[in-house]
Structure 1
Amino acid sequence: MPKLLPVISLHTGNFSNFLLGYGGTCVELDTPEWFDYLRKNKSFSVELNGKRFTACKKTSINGFAYWNLKGWDGTVNHHIYIGKSDQVTTEKIQQAAMAMLYRCNPDSKVSPNS
């Protein structure tokens, strides 16, 4: 059975500020606990309007850790840079998720700047 990733549920106009995980784990974003989670873990999910994307920690060739949001449009894997671990805030996650929703659903009425 695949590991269930903790998820941040976003809905247009109603953004959650919590990461919810297996076993009742709940971490408020933009807190010391959130940045500790990012330091210790490699992934989480972001759900927006029924679409689920995966945020993954990567290491640059310069050796610093950064986060990407991954999404699939049916033919292409898309990657959007979120930021270094200390920059992964609610606002950055919202912006990346909206942009990813637009990339994976180009016919939708959601624009990346709304």
Structure 2
Amino acid sequence: MPKLLPVISLHTGNFSNFLQGPGGTCVELDTPEWFDYLRKNKSFSVELNGKRFTACKKTSINNFAYWNLKGWDGKINHHIYIGKSDQTTNEKIQQAAIAMFYRCNPKLA
């Protein structure tokens, strides 16, 4: 069975400010606990209007951690840069999720 990733649920006009995970885990974004979560973990999900995307931590050739949002449109895997770990804020996640939503649903654009 696949691992259930903690998720940030975004709905147009009603953006959540919490990462919710299995077992009642709840982390408020843009807090010290959030940046601690990013430091210790490798992934989480972002859901926007029924589409779920995966945020993954990568390491650059300069050895700094950054976050990337991945989405699938049925043919192509898309990737959008969110930012370095200390820049992965609620606002940046919202921007990346909205951009990914339209990349994966080109008929809506």
Q: Tell me, yes or no, whether TM beats 0.5.
A: yes
Alignment correspondent of 1:89: 89
Query: Post-superposition shift, 1:30?
Result: 0.2
1:99 paired to 2:99: yes
Q: 3-state DSSP class of the match of 1:107?
A: helix
Q: Report sequence identity in percent.
A: 89
1:43 paired to 2:74: no
Q: How many residue pairs align between the two structures?
A: 109
Amino acid paired to 1:71: G
Query: Post-superposition shift, 1:108?
Result: 1.1
Amino acid paired to 1:57: K
Alignment correspondent of 1:14: 14
Q: Which structure 2 segments of 5+ residues have no match?
A: none
- The within-5 A match list for 1:51-66 is 51-66=51-66
Amino acid paired to 1:107: K
Alignment correspondent of 2:30: 30
TM-score by length of 1: 0.95
Q: 3-state DSSP class of the match of 2:96?
A: helix
Q: Distance in 1 between matches of 2:48 and 2:108?
A: 13
CA RMSD of aligned residues (A): 0.5
Alignment correspondent of 2:71: 71
